[in-house]
């Protein structure tokens, strides 16, 4: 394949992306903004970075190097310099026929409901790519792509506390949900399956209609399980007369998690198809009012949790979600990419 910039042809290598055996490689993509984007990879990827910078590619905040192609003469000169520097530094250069992943991610984010931020994630080393695997919530096309193909760059799509990971594999978009940070919530159920699609339009439809609903159900089921576990632990550990201020760190942490989960449990009950029985509806109204007072400092949050929390949890458990497979994934130990921002600063101490 040959592409001309201002009349100067540039030869490309294989279409499959960087080889895992290459010491230093540059993968170039044409972007939607009249630039060339360069990803580096390989055990000696620092030399690939040097070659890009000698040719005039500017490093962006996301770690991707960019070269404007608005001026054909300057572009031709820069590519000539890149060819020379790559030869001198023993760097392989591949011009990929695939669209730039950053453009794909932005296009996809614009098709999803709500506000999404796009964050390219360079993966210059195979080890960093492997470090992403423990953070993929469930196996599927995304884990298969990360395990079987050398991927020089991924992209995070961040919408509130939801984080998706996008890669390109076999000319398709592959997207999966990442585990929430343990600082946000412990996960107790299988997460949503990752998806693959031949276009951003198809990917957006699958994300909106399948992946995101499954993600929300999994997060809710985890909230409910954690709320139940915390309350059972508190009831088994403390006698009523032993719960006095200042509370132990573990008890205070459990209370804070309950105050975080309770509004979601209430919202779930409000959304239920079948109306609650009259006495259950009255309890929910009273509980919601008491919760509001407790959260504003005007009520006894601990007493509400320990005396009324069980009934709220049992009511919520009676309104099932479609997520039923209970598992306890191992907590990741390597975090090359920061997890989503926590919804509460309270550390999980049990």
DSSP 8-state class, residue 207: I
User: CA-based diameter of the chain, in Å?
Assistant: 84
Please write the tens of the pLDDT for every residue from 223-256.
999 999 999 999 999 887 778 888 899 999 999 9
CA distance 269 to 85: 64
* Ranges under pLDDT 50 in the chain: 1-21, 323-347
DSSP one-letter string for 228-273? HHHHHHHHHH--GGG--SSPPHHHHHHHHHHHHHHHHHHHHHHT-S
The pLDDT, as a whole number, for residue 22 is 63
The pLDDT, as a whole number, for residue 66 is 93
The pLDDT, as a whole number, for residue 326 is 35
Q: pTM of whole model > 0.85?
A: no
The pLDDT, as a whole number, for residue 345 is 31
The pLDDT, as a whole number, for residue 63 is 77
Please write the tens of the pLDDT for every residue from 76-117.
999 999 999 999 999 999 998 888 999 999 999 999 999 999
The pLDDT, as a whole number, for residue 145 is 94
The pLDDT, as a whole number, for residue 301 is 92
Q: How do the domains of the chain map onto residue ranges?
A: 2-95, 101-213, 218-317
- Here the tokens at position 225 are 């399980």
């Amino acid at each position: 394949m040959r592409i001309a910039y201002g009349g100067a042809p540039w030869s490309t290598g294989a279409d499959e992306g960087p080889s895992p055996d290459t010491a230093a490689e540059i993968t170039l993509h044409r972007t939607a903004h009249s630039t060339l984007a360069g990803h580096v990879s390989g055990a000696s990827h620092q030399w690939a970075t040097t070659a890009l910078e000698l040719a005039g590619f500017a490093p962006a905040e996301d770690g991707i190097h960019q070269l404007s192609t608005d001026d054909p003469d300057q572009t031709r000169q820069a590519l000539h310099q890149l060819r020379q520097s790559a030869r001198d530094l023993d760097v392989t250069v591949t011009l990929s026929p695939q669209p730039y992943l950053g453009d794909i991610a932005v296009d996809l984010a614009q098709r999803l409901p709500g506000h999404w931020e796009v964050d390219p994630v360079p993966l210059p080393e195979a080890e960093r790519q492997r470090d992403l695997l423990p953070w993929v919530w469930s196996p599927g096309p995304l884990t298969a792509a990360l395990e079987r193909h050398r991927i020089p760059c991924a992209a995070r799509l961040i919408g509130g506390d939801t984080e998706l990971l996008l890669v390109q594999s076999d000319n398709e978009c592959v997207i999966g949900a990442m585990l929430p940070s343990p600082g946000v919530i412990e996960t107790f159920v299988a997460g949503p399956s990752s998806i693959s699609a031949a276009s951003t339009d198809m990917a957006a439809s699958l994300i909106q209609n399948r992946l995101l609903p499954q993600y929300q159900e999994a997060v809710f089921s985890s909230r409910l399980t954690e709320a139940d576990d915390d309350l059972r632990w508190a009831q088994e550990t403390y006698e009523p007369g032993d719960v006095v201020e200042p509370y132990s760190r573990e008890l205070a942490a459990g209370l804070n998690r309950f105050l975080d989960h309770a509004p979601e449990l209430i919202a779930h009950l409000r959304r239920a198809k079948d109306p609650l029985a009259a006495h259950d509806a009255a309890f929910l109204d009273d509980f919601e009012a008491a919760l509001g007072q407790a959260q504003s400092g005007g009520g006894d949050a601990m007493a509400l949790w320990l005396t009324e929390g069980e009934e709220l949890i049992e009511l919520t458990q009676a309104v099932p979600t479609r997520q039923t497979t209970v598992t306890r994934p191992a907590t990741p130990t390597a975090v090359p990419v920061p997890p989503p921002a926590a919804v509460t600063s309270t550390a999980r101490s049990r």
